[in-house]
Structure 1
């Protein structure tokens, strides 16, 4: 009998390669984040120079493909990464990275008080992009169920997705997660000028976000979730936990933008070959765009969606409770002052 694993189909002879791939992605993201955050040159290279080069490359691909050029029509980016979501996420995350550099280095409007709300705005936009994608999958799954008797639907990138109530629940969790961001104007530069700090974004928000975002990838990017739902989420959390207190959101934006760039150019790393991993959802034991799935195991999808909304509701309730106790506006004011996470982050602020 096929062993589907708890969440992912990682077992047998290929497991060593799959774990190696995960370790490589995690380690490279941690290292890349350090390069990007520690110097202006590193940040400019990663989030200005590289995106400009890639933008020219992407435009060249699509213009050439429209003209019928063989190299473009067969380009992996053109064939495998056509969804609006990937481009929206790449550029939204990159915009966040640039804005965060403006704040920590106090460039231009980064010196102003009003621009301190930028981190909240850009993170909310990124979350809403994912929420829209979740709702889209739920709607497409419902249409597929009505037309074919099954909730499987084929995405524009050739991935079979299983839309359902779990998408709706996780989408709602994402909306609540936006409300879990507190102290919007409490943005600081670190003494060493290597980090933008958001001290009021404590472990509670990080936990709620990580659970929600993992589930988003598990539902909507299932063939990528081993990497973008586990390694990509743990890399910024690992850094924030051990040496970059208060800098989690900067870590998250940096690693997300860099991963999106890599995945957009080299999609087959996670789609095919030794490093590819699929979740237990695909009970047939494989995912092939040309073959409609005949078996499905959505158990984990349902369980994690319930967990996602429960965690976010609990965190939001804790925010409301503390705000009422302190008689403070949780968005205008910093409500986690006095807590261990907040004070450790503030000890690094200039």
Structure 2
């Protein structure tokens, strides 16, 4: 078992998972179906969150007790959380510019590579975090907990460190190059989605496995939600009703979750010694063997994905980054039918 979802709080923990999963899908649908919904979720709410975070961090720096003891300051004030939330929000706004063809930038061919760039940045943020954890192992800066080497972050999270961080960090670097057809990104016919048809199940599966492993390795008390519910929400949407829109769904749900976790980290936190003990909190098993297993699976999955992409590219005699390589596959063809051909022709003309 990967998580401690048993005992007195098991029913509540599963209820929390269902609530997060359903809420992410519902809010993503609200955000993607109209300009107003997108601007509320990814412009108005982030502005409010930013003011809130600046206020509490400033209060903490000045020594005010209400700032020092604020949950955001105590549990979500590390560099990773801030980098992740704003990188995700940048993706959401950029994707809206493409799907609504806002201004010259939304119509420009060169900007169609923005989704690749922002996803690569998001992956690199996590890779750096994985390697940061690995450094603690190789420098001996760790303690032992139930037979596993661990270290504690500035946000009071106990993290298992070891070779698994290296394996998954490498998997993340490979995953960046599992994105193909970097410029083949278009608006949908209904203008409700940004479609990246060449981003098929090959990338989605390799990404989901890698990202789950990242959260499991480095956010063991968050992975039940951000590594399970959060990853599954856009994948289910892409599989059932939003083919080709996975990356937009992923950015939307990631930004929504990160904002929630930034402002209300106590929802998924159980640290009675710090005055927080949520019945929804779920901890991983904190077993180095479990971390190593999921990391090896992540690395193998990404090696298999990049090998398959290279195989298809060579077979078609194309560069997989400047050309689409999954044409003819079921995922690609279903997504292609949703593309606005006018947008495609107009972009190619710019």
Does 2:130 align with 1:140? Answer: no
- Corresponding residue number in structure 1 for 2:239: 241
2:106 aligned with 1:110: yes
Superposed displacement of residue 147, structure 1: 8.0
**Deviation for aligned residue 1:145:** 5.3
- Counterpart among 296, 300, 308 of residue 290 in structure 2: 300
Q: Is the contact between residue 104 and residue 189 of structure 1 (CA under 8 Å) also seen in structure 2?
A: yes
| 1:48 is the counterpart of 2:43 | yes
Q: Any residues of structure 2 matched to 1:53-132 within 5 Å, and which?
A: 53-108=48-103, 109-132=105-128
Rate the CA distance shift 1:158–1:144 in 2: closer, same or farther, 3 A.
farther
1:280 corresponds, among 282, 285, 297, to 285
C-alpha distance after superposition, 1:93-132 (max 9, x if no partner): 0000000000000002011000000000000000000000
Structure 2 residue ranges without an equivalent (≥5) = 271-277, 341-350
The number of residue pairs the alignment matches comes to 330
Aligned counterpart, 2:346: none
Listed as ranges, the matches of 1:123-272 within 5 Å are 123-144=119-140, 151-272=149-270
Instruction: Tell me: CA distance 1:144–1:151, structure 2 relative to 1, closer, same or farther (3 Å).
Output: farther
| CA gap 1:146/1:31 in 2 versus in 1, 3 angstroms | closer
Query: SS state of the match for residue 336, structure 1?
Result: coil
Q: CA-to-partner distance for each residue in 1:287-320, whole Å, 9 max, x for gaps?
A: xxxxxxxxxx222111111100100000100000
Corresponding residue SS for 2:140: helix
Q: Is the 8 A contact 1:144 1:153 kept in 2?
A: no
Partner of 2:307: 317
Runs of 4+ in 1 over 2 A off after TM superposition: 141-151
Q: Which residue of 2 aligns with 1:342?
A: 332
Q: Aligned-pair distance for 1:334? A: 0.6
Deviates more, 1:109-118 or 1:136-145: 136-145
The alignment yields a C-alpha RMSD, in angstroms, of 1.3
Distance in 2, matches of 1:215 and 1:158, equals 20
Give SS of 1:184's match: coil
Following the alignment from structure 1 to structure 2, what is the Cα–Cα distance between the partners of residues 160 and 328?
A: 46
TM-score (norm 2): 0.92
Unpaired segments ≥5 residues, structure 1: 1-5, 282-296
Partner of 1:7: 2
Q: TM-score, normalised on structure 1?
A: 0.92
TM-aligned CA deviation for residue 245 of structure 1: 0.2
